[in-house]
Structure 1
Amino acid sequence: METMGVQAIIREIIKTLTAEKRTIRRVFFTACGGSLAGIYPGMYLLDRESKTIDARLYNARELVLSPPMALDEETLVIACTLAGTTETLEALDFAKAHGAKTIGIFGQDYTYERSSVDYILRFKTIADITTPMIQTNVVVSLQLGFALLNEKEDYSYYDEAEQAYTLLETLAKEIRSYSQSRARKFAKQFAEADFLHVMASRASMGEAYAFVLCSLMEIQWINSSVLNSAEFFHGSFEVLDKKTPILQLIGLGEARLADERSTAFLQRMGENYFLLDVKELYIDILPPHVKEYFQHTAFDLALREFITQLAIERNHDKWARRYMWTLKY
């Protein structure tokens, strides 16, 4: 069903379940790769704000191979794929077989030919600079999260979320312009690096994962890892010396304290680090109570400029692949 908007879909699901004397107790977000990272913000929003919904994020293959016992008729499964990733489609089949309600967030040009999706929402890739932010999978996941909060719990800041949607194009324009010089500096600093850690916390972990997996490893063939700012002092800081390359994302919310602590240690003991603070990315133009949940979009816009400049500096084609699209695997 593709003619309904986000709010109408959530209302209908709740109405249907209420008639069956059930409700939405769990929301499982599932996908693979960049799509998995892209819907992280929706999961994080519900995890932070909902008192009645257990929100989780699963790789689609793992959801099928090692499913939680909680997957049942009171679960809403939200799956995302740009072009019909097999594992994601199988996860939708699996979820429907377990009685879950299902929503597919599908790429604009993908034709879904199975019967396991109750509702379909469309998105466009942010890799296309002409894509409006409101049409990205990141923001669609947030729209679903905010709608669930509003319909189930009368969310106090839903109007702020609605206002934020209208400001995203202004945010994108400012970030793309601002990030050019920062991206060139980043690219020159790490052009010769054969390894790069990316550190973040909580709301920014999805974007850190996306940048490591999709940008550094897939697009530039640079070995990389995701570090957690709060976990940094429980083992991983032992690799830090003056040469260790680290990109630190400094986010919003209470977890910013963890980012600031790890940043202070980088400044004290390291040298080859690069700091990117979401506060320098015009995030404060968004309403105060919801801007934390849009920081994935802000970082993503900036880091796409970073990876473009890094590819130029390294003379490594962004579309080159060793295995993806070329081998059967």
Structure 2
Amino acid sequence: MMLGFNEPEFLSQTASAVALRPQIEELVDRLVDEGFDNLFLVGAGGTYAQMWPYEHLARRASSLPVRSAIAAELIVSGDVTLGERSVVIFTSVSGTTDDSIRAIEYCKARGAYTVGFTGYADSPIAKSVDVALISEPKTWPFDMQMLLFMGRLLARRGEFDGYEKLADELAGIPGVLVEVAKQAEPVAAAFAEAHKDSDYHFLVGGGNLWGFTYLYSMCILEEMQWLRTTRVHSAEFFHGSLELIEKDTSVIIFQGEDETRPLTDRVEAFAKRVSEDVTVFDTRDYPLEGISPEFRGLLAPLVLDTVLSRVSKHLERVRDHSLDLRRYYRVMEY
């Protein structure tokens, strides 16, 4: 029995995201056939950070200009390349994120074509974008939709040969992730028990896990647990932040399976020389039955989101601090 885990709901929500494949492919095919010059991936907070793996994928594999952008900053700073030949993607669990709603209007006013992924067809974001693709309510994360969108786009551009195979395998991802959650449960419980009284965590990740590192630090440990954190990219670790690590510092390392793995290995080796409290969450530890080896790296953010969601529930338990509790976010005017 997993703490606070509704397996039928998890399976249904994840399946609803994967089931968008035909709509996503139809959309991508139409956009490619009509032609566009650049792609913007726009979000706020966690939905901004969750765009980074797909900007990273595009930089590695494609000549198409792809930029992730913070909704509020895009509005005030603009982007000279944003215009009638641009496509802009937004994601929002609730479909009510104010910064994203304003950014949609900003992009549309400049002639860009807007796409929204959310769980509510009648939400402001779903009603504002040119096309909305709707999963079940509260479906998170958006990696399934973004993998399908970016995979199909790169495939149509001749930049990704394995898309059909990947998309076929993603059909089994709901069950795969349930097994990940089950395997992670004792690990998560042990971490939470050991860190019940830790008030500071140092988080490190790289490659397509840098976005998740940022997200887990800011949106979960800080926003939902009121814990102090430092987050640093594994490639930047040795340029300042390492000075904060002491013998008793909780260092959390997110390790994936892409080409940046050696960067994070180097951090792990150093951290373990200094701190006696280093925890590594490594996607290699999870079998992912039915997923081909060449796709494991792409799925790292999705796998670790599942693993760390178990950690979050156990931190909530041992610290007696609800993940839904906020002091300021959407509570105070700002």
TM-score between both structures, scaled by the size of structure 1: 0.89
- CA contact under 8 A between 1:124 and 1:137: conserved in structure 2? no
Q: Does 1:184 align with 2:184?
A: no
Report the CA distance between 1:116 and its aligned residue. 5.0
One-letter amino acid of the counterpart of residue 65, structure 1: V
Equivalent residue, structure 2, for 1:75 = 86
Report the CA distance between 1:11 and its aligned residue. 1.4
Report the CA distance between 1:40 and its aligned residue. 3.0
One-letter amino acid of the counterpart of residue 24, structure 2: V
Identity between Structure 1 and Structure 2 (%) = 25
Give me the CA root mean square deviation.
2.2
Q: Does 1:146 align with 2:157?
A: no
State how 1:113-152 maps to structure 2 within 5 Å.
117-124=129-136, 136-152=141-157
One-letter amino acid of the counterpart of residue 102, structure 1: T
Secondary structure class of the residue paired with 2:157? helix
C-alpha separation in 1, matches of 2:126 and 2:169: 35
CA displacement, residues 199-235 of structure 1 (integer Å, 9 cap, x when unaligned): 1001101111121111101111001121111111111
State how 1:53-72 maps to structure 2 within 5 Å.
53-72=64-83
CA displacement, residues 297-327 of structure 1 (integer Å, 9 cap, x when unaligned): 1000000000110111111122111112322
CA displacement, residues 266-323 of structure 1 (integer Å, 9 cap, x when unaligned): 1222212111111012347522332211110100000000011011111112211111
One-letter amino acid of the counterpart of residue 75, structure 1: S
One-letter amino acid of the counterpart of residue 90, structure 2: A
Aligned partner of 1:314 among 311, 319, 322: 319
Equivalent residue, structure 1, for 2:57 = 45
C-alpha separation in 1, matches of 2:298 and 2:114: 23
C-alpha separation in 1, matches of 2:317 and 2:144: 29
Distance 1:142 1:114, change over 3 A: closer
- CA contact under 8 A between 2:42 and 2:90: conserved in structure 1? yes
Q: May I ask how many residue pairs the two structures share in their alignment?
A: 314
State how 1:248-267 maps to structure 2 within 5 Å.
248-267=253-272
One-letter amino acid of the counterpart of residue 57, structure 1: S
TM-score between both structures, scaled by the size of structure 2: 0.87
Distance 1:136 1:229, change over 3 A: closer
Equivalent residue, structure 2, for 1:323 = 328
Distance 1:238 1:285, change over 3 A: farther
C-alpha separation in 1, matches of 2:257 and 2:240: 24
C-alpha separation in 2, matches of 1:124 and 1:246: 35
CA displacement, residues 82-121 of structure 1 (integer Å, 9 cap, x when unaligned): 2221110111111112222211112235423787522111
